[in-house]
Each structure stands twice: as C-alpha cells, then as structure tokens.
C-alpha cells in the first residue's frame, strides 16, 4: 500500500487552464523529475504479472492505472473495445486517457503502451511464455505516471496535457509463424482504434510524444525515421533540449535508418497529429531492436533509474520551458 501511495498523492481538481502557471520564469525547483516514483510504478505494473490482454493481470493493472490517474485529479476516459487478434481471438482492450487542464485549447499528447507481449518469441529458452515487459510497456507508463504527478501539481502555462496509455500494442504475430498479408494491421490495436475514434470528437493536439522502451540501462534514442518524417521540428527541439540537460549519451543526435512500427505511426497517419517516438533501438536497419527485445531479459533488472531520469527530465523541460 505504501508503494501505491507513493505513486499518487495530492488530489487536485484541475479543470481550469492556467495562463500564468509555471512558464519560462518558473522556479527551477519544480523542474525535478523523480525517477524513484517512475521506478516504483514500473515495479507495481510488473508485480501484477504479464499484462497480456484477456488475462487477470491485464485487468488488475488497467484498474490500477485508472485509479492512479483519477487520484491525481485528471479527467479520465476509459475507452473499452474489442479487437480481433491475428489468430482470430477477440481481445477485450482498453485505452486509458487522462486529461489535465481540459479547458486549455492548446494541448500536448504524451503516450505509451501498457500491454505486454503474450510470447517471448525471441527468447531461446522459453519462447512461448509471456514476458515481464518491465521495459517494453511498463517503463513508458512509469515515466508518464511520475510526470503526471508534477503536471497535476504545477499547471504548465497555457497548455493542457493528455496522457494516453494505449492497449494492444504488442499482440502482433510472431515473425514467420503466422503468415498474413497485412501483418501491420495486428500491431498497435489501441492506437489504431483511438486514431479512428478519438476520446473527444475533433480532438487536436499541437504534437505528441510516444515513449516506448525508455528504461533500459544504456538505452540509445536515435532519431527514429517516422518521427523525423512526420515531426522533424519536435524531434529537433527535444533532442537539443536533452543535449543541454546533459543527456546526449541517451538522446543521440543521429538519424536511424530503420522504420519503427509503433503507435505513433497510426497517430501520425490516421489521427494526423504529428507524433514522435522516443524508443531504444539501433540506428541501422538490422538489427533494429536491442538484444533484450521480446525475451525474458526484459525484466526489472534491465531497468535503470538514470535512463528514466534522462527521459523524464527532458520531457519535464519540454512542458515547462518550451512546450510549443
Ligand atoms: Zn514490444
């Protein structure tokens, strides 16, 4: 219970839009990101077990995330829907959406996926068992929950923030095991659904930032190709800010060659909101993913607070010093 309380304290009803808020002249002490909170929120997610759609751990974790965001005073929308998986199964999915300062016209969208891969298809020893997903899934959510706490206590000047936890990101067919002519259709199910059915009609955001695999020790965030294509200005701003903050060994100023199929692709192409992806990967076309990807090495021992700190601190500075 203590850990739960650490993840969400301070109940505020934050429905207004602050024009004064904490802008450029804000005291620097509010710009502190707490990686311990992010880490605890990752631990908590992992403690439920693999968050595989239709599993009990998935339901429990979904309830936990809603409860955390509600306790922070956000306006929480839960988008429940059924999606058909590549193997014909019907998945009960939920996108969890938290709006902070809904009265603000200018909005920034932050997102991560909260489901985890049902198989460890790249693992040599136990490929059929689901992964912990401490990094692939839980890390992005952990960083955003820790950020949400700051956002709820300190309104960013003139902007509102929406946090979306997408479901069904990682239920795609294992490569080579299930031939399908349209494999991309079976990944990112939550982002696909939301992009067609946003939680508010006419929803708009100035831009979006997706976090995926943002907790691994020694992570390398090269400038991912779709992000540069759809939102070059946002990439430039965020990578420059990260360098200024001393996080250049994570946010590497080099374009990668590979295309990362991830939730931001659908947000860019279908919802038409420019969205970048901060994602741990290699800059060449192959291998694109790190060695832990979709294996049982993706567990809590992979997660490093320094990486969480670099990502959280950078995003915090974006929101409070140069949001638009
Ligand atoms: Zn994955």
- Say whether pLDDT at 8 is over 50: no
**C-alpha 316 – ligand 1 centre gap (Å):** 25
**C-alpha 101 – ligand 1 centre gap (Å):** 31
Strand order in the sheet with 207-212: 75-84, 90-100, 160-166, 107-113, 207-212, 275-279
* Residues bordering ligand 1, an ion, CB closer than 5 Å: 136, 170
**C-alpha 324 – ligand 1 centre gap (Å):** 30
CB of 168 within 8 A of CB of 51?
Answer: no
For the stretch 141-160, pLDDT in tens is 999 999 999 999 999 999 99
Return the pLDDT at 182: 75
**C-alpha 79 – ligand 1 centre gap (Å):** 22
**C-alpha 170 – ligand 1 centre gap (Å):** 5
- Say whether pLDDT at 28 is over 70: no
* Residue 162: its H or E element: strand 160-166
**C-alpha 114 – ligand 1 centre gap (Å):** 10
- Say whether pLDDT at 295 is over 70: yes
Least confident of 1-15, 121-135, 284-298: 1-15
Token look-up 């959280």 returns 312
**C-alpha 287 – ligand 1 centre gap (Å):** 14
**C-alpha 105 – ligand 1 centre gap (Å):** 33
Return the pLDDT at 221: 98
**C-alpha 103 – ligand 1 centre gap (Å):** 34
**C-alpha 309 – ligand 1 centre gap (Å):** 22
For the stretch 200-216, pLDDT in tens is 999 999 999 999 999 99
Q: Which long-range contacts (CB under 8 A, 24 or more apart) does 181-187 make?
A: 183/86, 184/261, 186/85, 186/86, 187/261
């Amino acid at each position: 219970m203590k850990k739960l309380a650490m993840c969400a304290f301070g109940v505020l009803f934050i429905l207004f839009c602050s024009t004064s808020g904490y802008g450029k002249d804000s005291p620097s002490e509010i710009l502190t990101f707490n990686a311990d909170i992010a880490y605890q929120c990752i631990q908590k997610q992992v403690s439920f077990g693999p968050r595989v759609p239709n599993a009990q751990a998935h339901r429990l974790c979904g309830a936990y995330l809603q409860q955390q965001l509600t306790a922070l005073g956000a306006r929480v929308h839960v988008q429940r829907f059924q999606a058909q998986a590549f193997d014909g199964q019907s998945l009960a999915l939920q996108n969890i959406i938290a709006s902070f300062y809904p009265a603000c016209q200018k909005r920034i969208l932050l997102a991560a996926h909260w489901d985890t891969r049902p198989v460890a298809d790249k693992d040599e020893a136990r490929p059929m068992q689901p992964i912990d997903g401490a990094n692939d899934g839980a890390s992005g959510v952990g960083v955003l929950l820790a950020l949400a706490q700051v956002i709820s206590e300190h309104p960013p000047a003139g902007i509102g923030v929406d946090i979306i936890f997408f479901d069904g990101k990682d239920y795609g067919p294992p490569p080579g095991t299930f031939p399908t002519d349209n494999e991309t259709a079976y990944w990112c199910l939550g982002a696909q659904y939301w992009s067609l059915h946003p939680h508010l009609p006419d929803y708009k955001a100035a831009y979006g930032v997706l976090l995926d695999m943002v907790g691994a020790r020694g992570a390398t965030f090269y400038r991912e190709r779709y992000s540069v294509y759809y939102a070059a200005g946002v990439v430039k701003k965020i990578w420059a800010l990260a360098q200024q903050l001393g996080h250049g060994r994570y946010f590497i100023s080099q374009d990668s060659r590979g295309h990362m199929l991830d939730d931001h692709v659908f947000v860019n192409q279908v919802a038409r909101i420019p969205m970048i992806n901060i994602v741990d990967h290699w800059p060449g076309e192959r291998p694109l993913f790190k060695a832990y990807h979709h294996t049982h090495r993706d567990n809590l021992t992979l997660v490093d607070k320094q990486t969480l700190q670099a990502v959280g601190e950078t995003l915090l500075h974006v929101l409070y010093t140069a949001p638009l």
